[in-house]
């Protein structure tokens, strides 16, 4: 059995989430817009999930717009806000997920000015650069809370307060933070934030944009008027129900889980240091307790991931969404990591099911794989 160490890419479905979804996959087939009994059952299930998702981030149910995931929610925020504005400035960090940087680049092609905030060697947004960006009075601003590769946590509340003080509409992608650190809509001082179900042991294909109801957000996809007219399309009831259930579970024992995962990650990082690994973002004041992003000098990250998989350990090289490309991680390059070292990047992201035995087994497998790969390289030279 493969030991799964890639929870930032996606997580296994919690059996309790599966149980909550099952009736809506099997029997309760209603369309939430239908007037009959089965339609009402579906509508009530969505309402309950909306309340669960809202509670997970300290928001009101009416603020939750369900989408097909984090990608769609980020696109909805950027494209849906821009649709009601004249081209202006959009500021994002240099390490955003492609589903934020992609739509921002599209705005640039439509006449917007795109500014990417610099980050330091540890992947933290550069405060001076952020101040300079605020002075330019951007219309839109998006900085993620926790990074999918490094796990580095940004001071979103501080940045957001400055940006909204100068008139920006502020958004944060909190997809990787939810369930790992506390996330509170108001405390983050944002106008909108993005969530995804499959990163918190929920189903793939569900997410949400949580918004300040005063925003002039426009639909980018119109249809039957679902989700307050902001996201047309028949609701994916089982996935939304699963998302709600996963949110409730993600909040339960969050602190306890984080402490346990931190201890496991510390154990992992001590072992990695002993093997001479470079750990990216290690100097940041706060990193997710489950994430370690590292490289062994001279060894290609993809080769390591493939060989580790053969040894029974599933890890990630860079961002899962872009892992089909062998280009070094854009985020590591933005952090000033040399391309050669960045090509060596491997991400271990732990989950509730991992334990110390698995971490020790992984370290042993890594040492064996690394020595084999180094041997092969020596022969090739």
- For binding to ligand PLP (CB under 6 A), which residues are involved? 69-71, 97, 99, 144, 148, 173, 175-176, 196, 198, 207, 320-321
Rounded least distance, CB 181 to ligand PLP, Å: 14
Closer CB to ligand PLP, residue 43 or residue 124? 124
Closer CB to ligand PLP, residue 70 or residue 242? 70
Give the whole-angstrom CA distance, residue 98 versus residue 81. Answer: 18
265 given a catalytic annotation: no
Closer CB to ligand PLP, residue 154 or residue 176? 176
Closer CB to ligand PLP, residue 91 or residue 176? 176
Say whether 112 sits in a helix, a strand or coil: coil
> Taking the CB of residue 297, how many other CB atoms lie within 10 A of it?
10
Continuous H helices in 6-97: 15-26, 37-56, 70-82
Rounded least distance, CB 75 to ligand PLP, Å: 9
Rounded least distance, CB 69 to ligand PLP, Å: 3
Rounded least distance, CB 195 to ligand PLP, Å: 9
Report which residue's Cβ sits closest to ligand PLP: 70
Choose the catalytic residue: 29, 99, 265, 321. 321
State both tokens at 326. 């062998």
State both tokens at 278. 């470079």
User: Do residues 71 and 195 lie in contact, with contact meaning Cβ atoms separated by under 8 Å?
Assistant: no
Q: What is the 3-state secondary structure (H, E, C) of 357-380?
A: HHHHHHHHHHHHHHHHHHHHHHHH
Closer CB to ligand PLP, residue 207 or residue 238? 207
Residue with tokens 């990591």: 337
Between CA 128 and CA 138, with CA 133 as vertex, the angle to 5 degrees is 160
Rounded least distance, CB 173 to ligand PLP, Å: 5
State both tokens at 363. 């370290």
Backbone angles phi, psi at 172, to 5 degrees: -140, 135
Cα dihedral 88, 92, 97, 98 sign: positive
* Catalytic residue IDs: 321
């Amino acid at each position: 059995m493969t030991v799964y160490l890639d929870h930032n890419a996606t997580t296994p479905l919690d059996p309790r989430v599966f149980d909550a979804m099952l009736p809506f996959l099997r029997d309760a087939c209603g369309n939430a817009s239908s007037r009959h009994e089965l339609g009402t059952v579906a509508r009530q299930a969505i309402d309950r999930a909306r309340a669960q998702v809202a509670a997970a981030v300290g928001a009101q149910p009416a603020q939750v717009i369900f989408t097909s995931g984090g990608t769609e929610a980020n696109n909805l925020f950027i494209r849906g806000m821009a649709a009601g504005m004249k081209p202006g400035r959009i500021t994002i960090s240099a390490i955003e997920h492609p589903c934020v940087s992609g739509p921002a680049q599209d705005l640039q092609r439509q006449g917007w000015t795109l500014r990417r905030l610099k980050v330091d060697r540890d992947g933290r947004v550069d405060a001076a650069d952020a101040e300079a960006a605020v002075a330019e009075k951007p219309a839109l601003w998006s900085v993620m809370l926790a990074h999918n590769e490094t796990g580095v946590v940004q001071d979103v509340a501080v940045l957001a307060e400055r940006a909204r003080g100068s008139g920006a509409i502020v958004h944060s992608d909190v997809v990787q933070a939810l369930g790992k650190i506390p996330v509170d809509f108001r405390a983050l001082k944002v106008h909108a934030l993005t969530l995804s179900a499959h990163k918190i042991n929920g189903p793939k294909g569900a997410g949400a944009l949580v918004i300040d109801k005063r925003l002039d957000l426009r639909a980018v996809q119109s249809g039957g008027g679902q989700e307050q007219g902001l996201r047309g399309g028949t609701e994916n009831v089982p996935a939304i129900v699963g998302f709600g259930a996963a949110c409730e579970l993600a909040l339960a024992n969050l602190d306890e889980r984080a402490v346990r995962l931190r201890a496991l990650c510390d154990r992992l990082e001590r072992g990695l240091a002993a093997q001479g690994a470079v750990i990216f973002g290690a100097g940041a004041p706060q990193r997710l307790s489950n994430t370690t992003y590292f490289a062994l000098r001279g060894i290609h990250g993809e080769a390591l991931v493939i060989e580790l998989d053969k040894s029974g350990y599933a890890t990630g090289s860079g961002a899962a969404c872009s892992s089909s490309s062998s280009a070094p991680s854009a985020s590591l390059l933005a952090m000033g990591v040399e391309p050669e070292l960045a090509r060596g990047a491997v991400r271990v992201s732990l989950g509730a099911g991992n334990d110390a035995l698995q971490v020790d087994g992984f370290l042993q497998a890594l040492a064996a794989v690394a020595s084999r790969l180094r041997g092969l390289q020596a022969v090739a030279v």
